[in-house]
């Protein structure tokens, strides 16, 4: 069970409202701690036994977006001060607050796999969206591995191109800070797919993935002919996936994240078709959607003047997902018939509500970009 879904349990405490936020006083202790207005309101809701995911959904229902950095700081405080009682939550956030990954005993390359002859593509993420014969072709030579905890599945900087699916168990994604330190940014649960960066785009790994529990992993070997297959019309779903990943890696926000965390984001969206000359959004409008251009082209204009043409793989409008009532800074109109992946703000927040650490990372990146844009004006 993901810890964001656990109903939180607390040791006794008292909340006292103040003009700017409030105070929390812990039972049996004389000292009080000041909370920001947002942290106070979040704790006031959580004290009723709500989960982190439930808190986000509660505020979305009220028309408010949660500030994930404030929420993360609150949970960090509650764990550090031993207010939260849930063992899984305490363990999870203690690992997240550490700069060091767990001791790595071995790597997957040192283990022996068995041929995955009975894998059903319809039960696998990514592959279930492909034509059956194509999925079976890509899965030929795939291997199952029974993997203990604390095994490194992928290594930041490596250029291997294999794709992985976590069939059972759990793993964590660690961003490499330097030679001696790593920081956990997300967890992977059963059904998670990772390694697309190398498999589709032939780019080096930008994170370590390490099992945190005994797991079963499917490794899909990359074959040289796959690169040509991606470019053919016979593999349209594979092309779409390729363009989506390209777009995410060109986004000022998403390109900084380990691509292994982006699979849920892709599945949070829906494919839409737009004819030529359709206005996707207008300058000055409030926005709550982001788009990835799968097929076609679109023109960006400011004050009635075209400033850019976006083609397959472009990502636009993503900043509005993280800003309540964010205003569009330009207009976007399709230049010809197009297919787009549309991601709604509510769907985006539902995905983030199930991974608080990743949510905090994305929000921090978005805030830095907004600050940079404001400085440039």
Task: Report residue 257 as tokens.
Answer: 């994240």
- Report the Cα 312 to chain-centroid distance in Å: 22
- Report the Cα 326 to chain-centroid distance in Å: 21
Asked if the model's pLDDT at residue 94 lies above 70, the reply is yes
- pLDDT tens digits, one per residue of 232-290: 766 777 878 888 888 887 787 887 777 767 777 777 788 899 999 999 999 988 888 98
* Contacts with 321 (C-beta within 8 Å, 6 or more apart), sequence order: 288, 289, 290, 343, 345, 348
Q: Residue-wise over 67-100: b if at least 16 C-beta within 10 A, else e?
A: bbebbbbbbbbbbeeebbebeebbebbebbeeee
- pLDDT band, residue 180 (cuts 50/70/90): confident
What is the C-alpha separation between 28 and 31, in angstroms, rounded?
Answer: 9
Residue 216: the pLDDT is: 94
Beta bridge partners of 295: 339
Residue at token pair 């785009």: 201
Residue at token pair 């956030």: 93
Residue at token pair 């206005």: 279
Least confident of 27-31, 138-142, 349-353: 27-31
What average pLDDT does the segment 19-45 reach?
Answer: 90
For residue 343, count CB atoms less than 10 angstroms from its CB and return exposed for 0-12, middle for 13-18, buried for 19 or more: buried
């Amino acid at each position: 069970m993901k810890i964001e879904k656990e109903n939180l349990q607390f040791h006794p405490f008292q909340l006292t409202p103040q003009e700017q936020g409030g105070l929390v006083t812990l039972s049996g202790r004389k000292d009080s701690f000041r909370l920001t207005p947002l942290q106070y309101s979040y704790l006031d809701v959580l004290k009723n036994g709500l989960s982190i995911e439930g808190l986000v959904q509660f505020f979305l229902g009220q028309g408010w977006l949660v500030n994930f950095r404030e929420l993360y700081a609150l949970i960090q405080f509650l764990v550090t001060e031993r207010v939260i009682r849930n063992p899984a939550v305490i363990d999870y956030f203690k690992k997240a607050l550490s700069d060091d990954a767990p001791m790595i005993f071995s790597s997957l390359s040192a283990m022996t796999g068995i041929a995955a002859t009975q894998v059903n593509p319809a039960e696998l993420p990514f592959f279930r969206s492909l034509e059956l014969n194509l999925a079976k072709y890509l899965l030929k030579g795939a291997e199952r591995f029974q993997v203990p905890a604390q095994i490194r599945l992928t290594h930041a900087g490596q250029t291997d191109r294999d794709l992985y699916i976590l069939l059972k168990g759990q793993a964590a994604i660690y961003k490499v800070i330097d030679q001696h330190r790593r920081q956990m940014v997300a967890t992977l649960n059963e059904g998670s797919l990772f390694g697309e960066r190398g498999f589709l785009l032939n780019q080096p790994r930008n994170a370590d993935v390490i099992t945190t529990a005994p797991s079963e992993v499917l490794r899909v070997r990359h074959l040289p002919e796959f690169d040509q297959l991606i470019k053919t019309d016979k593999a349209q779903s594979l092309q779409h996936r390729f363009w989506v990943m390209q777009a995410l890696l060109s986004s000022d926000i998403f390109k900084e994240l380990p691509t292994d965390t982006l699979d849920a984001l892709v599945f949070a969206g829906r494919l839409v078709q737009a004819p030529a000359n359709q206005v996707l959004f207008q300058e000055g409008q409030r926005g709550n959607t982001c788009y990835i251009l799968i097929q076609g082209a679109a023109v960006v204009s400011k004050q009635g003047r075209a400033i850019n043409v976006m083609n397959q793989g472009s990502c636009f409008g993503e900043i509005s997902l993280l800003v309540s009532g964010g205003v569009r800074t330009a207009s976007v109109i399709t230049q010809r018939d197009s297919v787009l992946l549309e991601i709604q703000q509510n769907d985006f927040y539902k995905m983030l509500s199930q991974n608080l650490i990743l949510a905090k990372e994305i929000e921090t990146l978005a805030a830095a970009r907004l600050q940079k844009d404001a400085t440039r004006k």
